[in-house]
Chains A and B, each alone.
Chain A
Amino acid sequence: MTKQLKIDPRVYQISILSSLIVYGFFFLDFEIRPNFFFLIIGSTLFTQYICTKLFTDSSFDPKSCLISGLSLCLLLRTGSPSIAILCAVITISSKFILRFNSKHIFNPTNFGLVVIMLLFSNAWVSPGQWGNAATLGFFIACFGFLVVNRAARSDVTWAFLLIYSTLVFARSIWLGDPFAIPLHHLQNGAFLIFTFFMISDPKTTPDSRAGRVIFALLVALGAYFVTFVLFRTNGLLWSLAVFALAVPIIDMIVPGIKYQWKKLNLKSIQINGEVPAR
Chain B
Amino acid sequence: MRNNILVLTLLLFAVMSIPKDSFGFCGFYVAKADTKIFNKASQVVLVRDEDKTVITMANDFKGDLNEFAVVVPVPTFIEEGQINIGDQKIIDHLDAYSAPRLVEYYDENPCERYKYDRALEESALPQSVLKNKNSFDNEKLGVTVEATYTVGEYDISILSAEEGAGLQKWLSKSGYKLPKGASKILDSYIKQKMKFFVAKVNIKEQGKLGYKNLRPIQVAYESPKFMLPIRLGTINADGYQELFVYVLNRKGRVETTNYRTVKLPTGMDIPTYIKNDFGDFYKAMFDQQVEKEKMSTVFLEYAWDMNWCDPCAADPLSTKELRDIGVFWVGDNSVNKNKRIAPSPAQNVFITRLHVRYDKEHFPEDLVFQETGDRSNFQGRYVLRHPWQGTDSCAAANDYFKGLIKRQEKEAQVLANLTGWDINKIRNKMDIKTAVIDDKKWWQKIWSN
Contact = CB atoms under 8 A, between A and B. Distances in A.
Interface of A: 28-29, 31, 77-79, 120-124, 126-133, 174-178, 180-181, 184-185, 188, 230-233
Contacts of A175: 187-188, 191-192
9 contacts: A79-B373, A79-B374, A123-B373, A124-B374, A130-B260, A132-B259, A174-B191, A175-B191, A181-B365
Contact of B373 (A120, A130, A131): A120
Minimum-distance CB pairs A-B, first 8:
A122-B373, A180-B364, A131-B260, A175-B188, A231-B224, A233-B370, A124-B372, A128-B257
Contacts of B255: 126, 128
A184 B373 contact: no
B364 A131 contact: no
A129 B263 CA distance: 12
A92 B116 CA distance: 54
B203 interface: no
Contact of B258 (A120, A188, A230, A231): A188
A103 B223 CA distance: 40
Contact of A176 (B184, B361, B372): B184
B291 to A, nearest CB: 15
Contacts of A174: 191
Interface in B254-306: 255-263, 296-297
A184 B258 contact: yes
A231 B224 CA distance: 6
A226 to B, nearest CB: 11
B374 A77 contact: yes
Nearest to B261: A128
Main secondary structure of the interface of B (DSSP, over half): loop
B214 to A, nearest CB: 31
A128 B257 CA distance: 4
A180 B361 CA distance: 8
B256 A128 contact: yes
B115 interface: no
Interface of B: 164, 184, 187-188, 191-192, 223-227, 251-252, 255-263, 296-297, 361, 364-365, 368, 370, 372-376
B365 A28 contact: no
Contact of B259 (A28, A31, A128, A176): A128
Given A124-B372, A176-B184, A231-B226, 19 more contacts: A28-B260, A29-B262, A77-B374, A79-B375, A124-B370, A124-B373, A127-B257, A128-B256, A131-B260, A132-B296, A177-B188, A181-B364, A184-B364, A185-B365, A188-B258, A230-B224, A231-B224, A231-B227, A232-B224
Interface centre among B184, B261, B373 (most CB of A within 10 A): B373
A78 to B, nearest CB: 7
Contacts of A123: 373
A121 B251 contact: yes
B373 A121 contact: yes
A131 B259 contact: yes
Given A29-B263, A128-B259, A231-B226, A78 B373 contact: yes
A29 B257 CA distance: 15
B237 to A, nearest CB: 16
B188 A176 contact: yes
A30 to B, nearest CB: 10
A78 B253 CA distance: 12
Contacts of B297: 131
Nearest to A183: B364
A130 B187 CA distance: 30
B43 to A, nearest CB: 22
A230 B368 CA distance: 13
Contacts of A128: 255-261
A11 B251 CA distance: 39
B296 A133 contact: yes
A185 B226 CA distance: 17
Given A124-B370, A124-B372, A131-B296, A233 B257 contact: yes
B188 A79 contact: no
Nearest to A232: B224
B181 to A, nearest CB: 10
Given A124-B372, A176-B184, A231 B225 contact: yes
B350 to A, nearest CB: 12
A127 B257 CA distance: 5
Nearest to B75: A231
A218 B363 CA distance: 30
A175 B186 CA distance: 10
Nearest to A188: B258
Contacts of B365: 181, 184-185
Interface centre among B252, B257, B297 (most CB of A within 10 A): B257
A122 B296 contact: no
Contacts of B164: 176
Interface centre among B187, B260, B361, B376 (most CB of A within 10 A): B260
Interface centre among A122, A128, A178 (most CB of B within 10 A): A128
A131 B365 CA distance: 13
A123 B373 CA distance: 6
A2 B261 CA distance: 51
A130 B368 CA distance: 15
Contact of A178 (B191, B261, B364, B372): B364
B334 to A, nearest CB: 30
Contacts of A124: 370, 372-374
Given A130-B260, A131-B259, A79 B224 contact: no
A120 B255 CA distance: 18
A233 B223 CA distance: 14
Contacts of A185: 258, 365
A31 B361 CA distance: 28
A22 B31 CA distance: 51
Nearest to B250: A121
B67 to A, nearest CB: 29
B251 to A, nearest CB: 6
B365 to A, nearest CB: 5
Contacts of B187: 175-176
Contacts of B251: 121
B364 A122 contact: no
A116 to B, nearest CB: 11
Contacts of A31: 374
A79 B376 CA distance: 8
Contacts of B375: 79, 122
A66 B375 CA distance: 29
Contacts of B373: 78-79, 120-124
Contacts of B376: 79
